[in-house]
Amino acid sequence: MARVVVDVMLKPEILDPQGQAVQRALPRLGFEGIADVRQGKRFELEVEGPADDAALARIREMAETFLANTVIEDFTVRVEAGS
Amino acid sequence: MARVVVDVMLKPEILDPQGQAVQRALPRLGFEGIADVRQGKRFELEVEGPADDAALARIREMAETFLANTVIEDFTVRVEAGS
Amino acid sequence: MTARVGVVTFPGTLDDRDTQRAVRVAGAEAVPLWHRDKDLKQVDAVVLPGGFSYGDYLRAGAISRFSPVMESVIAQAKDGLPVLGICNGFQVLTETHLLPGAMLRNESLHFVCREQKLRVENADTAWTTDYTAGQEISVPLKNIDGRYVADARTLDMLEAEGRVAFRYLDVNPNGSLRDIAGITNEAGNVVGLMPHPEHAVEPLIGTGRTDGLGFFTSILKKLVNA
Amino acid sequence: MTLDTVKHAAETPEAEQPWAELGLKQDEYARIREILDRRPTGAELAMYSVMWSEHCSYKSSKVHLKQFGEKVPENDAMLVGIGENAGVVDVGQGYAVTFKVESHNHPSYIEPYQGAATGVGGIVRDILAMGARPVAVVDPLRFGAADHPDTKRVLPGVVAGIGGYGNCLGLPNIGGEVVFDACYQGNPLVNAGCIGVMKHEDIHLAKASGAGNKVILYGARTGGDGIGGVSVLASETFDATKPTKRPAVQVGDPFQEKLLIECTLEVFKEQLVAGIQDLGGAGLSCATSELASAGSGGMRVELDTVPLRDSSLSPEEILMSESQERMCAIVEPDKVDRFLEICEKWDVIATVIGEVTDGTRLEIFWHGEQIVDVPPRSVAHEGPTYHRPYARPDWQDALQADDANQLARPTTPEELRAQILQVVASPNQASKAWITDQYDRFVQGNTVLAQPEDSGMVRIDEETNLGVALATDGNGRFAKLDPYAGAQLALAEAYRNVAATGAKPLAVSDCLNFGSPEDPAVMWQFAEATRGLADACQTLGTPVTGGNVSLYNQTGEVAIHPTPVVAVLGVIDDVNRRTPVAFAQEGQLIYLLGDTAEELGGSAWSQVVHEHLGGLPPKVDLERERLLAEILISASRDGMADAAHDLSDGGLIQALVESCLRGGNGARLVVPEGVDPFVFLFSESAGRAVVSVPRSEELRFTDMCGARGLPATRIGVVDGDAIDVQGQFSIALDELRTAHEATIPGLIG
Ligand SMILES: Nc1ncnc2c1ncn2[C@@H]1O[C@H](COP(=O)(O)OP(=O)(O)O)[C@@H](O)[C@H]1O
Ligand SMILES: [Mg+2]
């Protein structure tokens, strides 16, 4: 079993109200010095079998067509260190 | 400026309906061999100044009290490589 | 002869029965369609109703988009089958790319339920001929992922081609770009909007107005006259 | 670890058992040993401990709740009474309606979103288990002080949870309450109610009969959710030091619940179900023992067939798990295949986990070995009963002597005007739209009235326009001053709210939220409130059909106000006749119905202007309430009133402000001769309502009131864009609107 992580973030040009809401709240909670916050999604996939190139290619396709909506989102795929 | 990433995931024992729905959909889309999917949140924070120990300690506190709901979620904090 | 309008039920669809009622109130025949069936039962038009299909998990509409019924809907929509996506149905249509753009969480981050004023900008689509361009209507709106976004080029194109079909008036309830409440494809057969015309077809129920009925009478007339 | 089988338990009578940690008292543990004639196995201990908890067994409250059955009024409408998942009433035309209110208070404090969400999920499954399609929800809520920082954590989470779950199920939210009071700071009250509709012949009961019938568990997989949750969360005050290895928080999956609803309705429709029970608190322990206890035979369950989310769960934990979105059905063998087919259609996991036997025992096996062998009644229905001591607290007299009628009153019209704005803008009296706009009130396309109307109303038959209405009310301040009267006032208010919309009140459900029953003062409040409610239900002819008790709502020694929340269900033959609150027609005449006395104890005015709670609550006159209701219903049926609004907290001025703002019209008012304007506007005397009457109907209306002896005073006319009280003051609607609507977003948004 290997763990593959897919991170999905809104494209930089898309307004991220969730991230903004977090950022706006921080000073009120006493946390200063955070210039920007973006909020996205993280998927942890447990892959049966090895996370080899073939598996990663399939997962990249899965991210492209399904996990991310590429009209608004970018994604990255990586094998979790230590798995 | 440094970028710090906070990953927030539901604790392993907590039901993750989203991850489950994603996993159930995969075979229908022709993606086999994924044993489990968990879905969480990823926060990218742009920190003014260096991401030194003091800054990370503050961010860890922020994650603990605000970004994550530690009743049901775990989190990790790390400096994004290359930033 | 009356028209047969299919209403799709996905797991988690909520407004299917309301939509069937709206179709009937307009005088057409409502035909239930099931997400697992490719067969569209020879309907003359299809409505993808509102709700939380697959719980809106992942992204609203993202999982439903891959259902067998959608394979047929996508194929036939490209051949001119009239398709209306309401709320979650609109989200499904953007996920399938039958309509451009995407839907994000409301700017307020909250679910919002209100009576919403709209302007019908395009009265030439398959679903809007019973309105006049510029007509103002009020129908219920209820969503949490209703903020319509697209890149500037797409938005400019939509505007230039008259494909912004509905615009929010008075209040932009979710932060949609350019106050867009609904759009149409180039051919005018595929229309999607966030507000809920099917909840405004009977006096007394809901807002007590019948401003939404025009969607269903429009399609009926089009089909019967065809 | 070796499996603690029945055989092993019999052989090791002296083995130490953690009964105390599981919340059992010594004598309770002794009784279990007596029932079984041996020590219980670990699994049996788990079942008894959770089923004998306060939450599941009502051990402190049931001696008092008995009155609801004993004093039940003559009422032909009652089809199923207390004891089932929810009561059922006949609403005519072959329809039956089931409804119930439940609490999810403690879980919502710990995890507001999930606590509230799973509260909605739980009550919906109760309604579903009766055979009904759920058609609407309501949510009476209580929070700490509106400006307390923790309220900013709890309230948005609770509201998002109720909306997130209910909206996703497609259930219109048609009413509820939002009350702020410092007494709820550490103990917010999250009550949730649901209405379901069915035909008479579709009523289902929770019982397992017919040897050979299969026990089918369907819905979500079982995980470690809320293990010990029932006993730890609902039955004892928090003990933060106790480590939990399993999550005490349940996470809801509304999508799964929606599938469960559709799937269940389909198996009902094909008549595949002989008995059914939802899984709520105490999970499988509760469902299996209750089904078996209510049925005629025994039951045998193979626990290792239960589909798990977490394969490390022990049998004890599986029995106690409170994983959400699960149901348990009893199905005849030849119907099992079809049942499973329908589940598959809806992507719902379903498993045969056992069968009904011709024995008398509930027997549970784990990989072939017996771990439970109990008489099911002893678990489910014959738990301990406490006659807890109760005594009128020594502070009650002083509280009642601290008369609110003696508080300083406004001395000039300007001061009166300022206090009106102050009250109307106070968190409890302000508009709750910021909250209720997060709830879908339109879904299902049958909503006739929803918040901010006096009661929610849904159409249940599209052909005949038959409808039902529901209102929930409760005033903890009144109940604190006098719990007997307070409970009656809660009922009276909900009853009045239903009648104000034109519906005939039929039946009652309640949620009794109190502090610790181990405190004699709290127990007295509870005894008084139940007695008051039972007496009033008898007088008004509205039986209590079911409800819920939530105890231990207290932090340390300090209990919440006694808070009986009462839901009244009404029926209306034709929803076209419904009466809204809005003054929509200029020129109509405004009538005040009922008598106004000088009654300021527990009032909104005393709270907002003086931060005072003392004196006596308004007097209860149930005959007057009944008469008022009859008049309101007649006025609706015969088209004599276009708007009606009941008077409750905030008094006349609050009702007028709401009706004017809703209709977008002002009112010109005259204070009746000899009446003090302040008392006129702020008193909270019960048994009153305002109506707006078309001029053409005035005579008919006043004749009706006159003939039946209900005081009706013409106090003004719908007109202009201000509330103008002659000789006193005028406040523009815009100013009122800002005052009324800005408060909650300002505090919470
Ligand atoms: N939490 C809530 N959920 C839904 N509706 C609510 C909620 N709180 C208040 N409401 C609605 O707002 C309106 C005003 O509430 P309230 O002042 O308590 O009414 P009343 O005093 O007439 O009982 C009612 O329609 C009530 O149902
Ligand atoms: Mg009211």
Q: Which amino acid is at D326?
A: R
List active site positions of D.
55, 104
Among D710, D574, D575, D567, which Cα is nearest to D632's? Answer: D710
What are the helix (H) ranges across D270-412? 283-294, 315-320, 336-345, 376-380, 396-401
In terms of average pLDDT, the best of A9-23, A47-61, C111-125 is: C111-125
Mean pLDDT of D420-424: 98
Q: Are the CB atoms for D167 and C15 separated by under 8 Å? A: no
Give the list of residues 6+ apart from residue B5 with CB closer than 8 angstroms, or none: B42, B43, B44, B45, B77, B78, B79, B80
The confidence score (pLDDT) of residue A78 equals: 94
Mean pLDDT of B37-46: 96
Residue D452 preceded by cis peptide, ω within 30: yes
Q: Which of A17-26, C2-11, C137-146, D612-621 has the lowest mean pLDDT?
A: A17-26
Q: Can you name the residues that pair with A3 across neighbouring β-strands?
A: A46
ipTM of the complex: 0.92
Task: Report chain D's mean pLDDT, rounded to a whole number.
Answer: 94
D102 assigned to a ligand binding site: yes
D280-301 confidence digits (pLDDT tens) = 888 999 999 999 988 888 999 9
Q: What is the largest CA-CA distance in chain C?
A: 47
Residue D233 has pLDDT above 50, yes or no: no
> How many CB atoms neighbour CB D182 within 10 A?
14
- C-alpha D116/C-alpha C218 separation (Å) is 42
The confidence score (pLDDT) of residue D271 equals: 94
Neighbours of chain A (3+ CB pairs under 8 A): B, C
The confidence score (pLDDT) of residue D209 equals: 83
Taking the CA of residue B66 and the nearest CA in chain D, the distance in Å comes to: 11
Give the list of residues 6+ apart from residue D668 with CB closer than 8 angstroms, or none: D716, D717, D719, D720, D724, D726
Q: Which amino acid is at D417?
A: R
Record the tokens describing residue D258, joined without a space: 């929606």
Q: Are the CB atoms for D276 and D204 separated by under 8 Å? A: yes
Record the tokens describing residue D528, joined without a space: 């008084």
D587-598 confidence digits (pLDDT tens) = 999 999 999 999
Domain D579-749 -> CATH class: alpha beta
List ligand 1's pocket residues with C-beta within 6 A: D 139, 141, 173, 175-178, 432, 435-436, 451-454, 473, 497, 646, 648-649
Residue among C102, C147, C151 minimizing CB distance to A69: C102
Mean pLDDT of C15-38: 97
Q: Which amino acid is at D370?
A: Q
Contact A47 B35 (CB under 8 A): yes
pTM: 0.94
- C-alpha D567/C-alpha D544 separation (Å) is 9
D200 assigned to a ligand binding site: no
The confidence score (pLDDT) of residue D205 equals: 80
Mean pLDDT of D244-260: 82
The confidence score (pLDDT) of residue C226 equals: 73
D680-700 confidence digits (pLDDT tens) = 999 999 999 999 999 999 999
Task: Report chain C's mean pLDDT, rounded to a whole number.
Answer: 96
User: From the CA of D473, which ligand is nearest?
Assistant: 1
- C-alpha D111/C-alpha D117 separation (Å) is 10
Q: pLDDT exceeding 70 applies to what percent of chain D?
A: 97
Q: What is the whole-number distance in angstroms between the Cα of residue D138 and the centre of ligand 2? A: 14
Q: Are the CB atoms for D565 and D474 separated by under 8 Å? A: yes
Chain B touched by D111 (CB under 8 Å): yes
**D541 φψ region: left (φ > 0), alpha (ψ -120 to 50), beta (else):** left
C159-172 confidence digits (pLDDT tens) = 999 999 999 999 99
- C-alpha C83/C-alpha C126 separation (Å) is 9
Q: Can you name the residues that pair with D644 across neighbouring β-strands?
A: D691
List active site positions of C.
87, 196, 198
Question: Which residue, chain included where needed, has tokens 């009766």?
Answer: D130
Taking the CA of residue A28 and the nearest CA in chain C, the distance in Å comes to: 18
The confidence score (pLDDT) of residue A82 equals: 60
Contacts of B30 in chain C (CB under 8 A): none
The confidence score (pLDDT) of residue D228 equals: 56
Q: Which amino acid is at B62?
A: M
Q: How far is CA C12 from CA C7, C55, C91, C155, in A?
A: 14, 6, 14, 31
D57-113 confidence digits (pLDDT tens) = 999 999 999 999 898 887 778 888 777 778 899 999 999 999 999 999 999 999 999
Mean pLDDT of D264-269: 96
Q: How far is CA D626 from CA D116, D594, D651, D689, D736, in A?
A: 35, 12, 19, 13, 33
Contacts of A38 in chain B (CB under 8 A): 43-44
Closest B-chain CA to A44: B38
CA dihedral D221, D226, D231, D234 (to 10 degrees): -110
The confidence score (pLDDT) of residue C207 equals: 80
D185-228 confidence digits (pLDDT tens) = 999 999 999 999 999 988 888 788 889 999 999 999 999 887 75
Residue D55 has pLDDT above 90, yes or no: no
CATH code of the domain made up of C4-225: 3.40.50.880
Contacts of C58 in chain B (CB under 8 A): 18, 21-22, 25, 39
Task: Report chain B's mean pLDDT, rounded to a whole number.
Answer: 91
D140-195 confidence digits (pLDDT tens) = 999 999 999 999 999 999 999 999 999 999 999 999 999 999 999 999 999 999 99
* Residue count (chain C): 226
Q: Can you name the residues that pair with C184 across neighbouring β-strands?
A: C191
Closest A-chain CA to B47: A34
> Could you give the domains of chain B?
2-79 (3.30.1280.10)
Record the tokens describing residue D195, joined without a space: 């209405």
HEC readout, D10-79? HHCCCCCCCCCCCCCCHHHHHHHHHHHCCCCCHHHHHHHHHHCCHHHHCCCCHHHHHHHHHCCCCCCCEE
The confidence score (pLDDT) of residue D230 equals: 35
Q: pLDDT exceeding 90 applies to what percent of chain D?
A: 86
- Per DSSP, the three-state class of C13 is strand
Residue D242 has pLDDT above 50, yes or no: no
Mean pLDDT of D701-722: 98
Residue B33 CB-half CA count within 13 A: 18
The confidence score (pLDDT) of residue A29 equals: 81
Mean pLDDT of A23-40: 90
B50-82 confidence digits (pLDDT tens) = 889 999 999 999 999 999 999 889 999 999 876
Residue D158 CB-half CA count within 13 A: 32
Q: Which residues of C94-111 are buried (b: 16+ CB within 10 A; e: fewer)?
A: bbbebbbbbbbbbbbebb
- C-alpha D255/C-alpha D264 separation (Å) is 14
D103 assigned to a ligand binding site: yes
Question: Does the domain at residues D64-380 carry the CATH identifier 3.90.650.10?
Answer: yes
Residue D394 CB-half CA count within 13 A: 0
Q: What value, to the nearest 5°, has the Cα angle with vertex D543 and ends D539 and D546? A: 145
Mean pLDDT of C43-52: 98
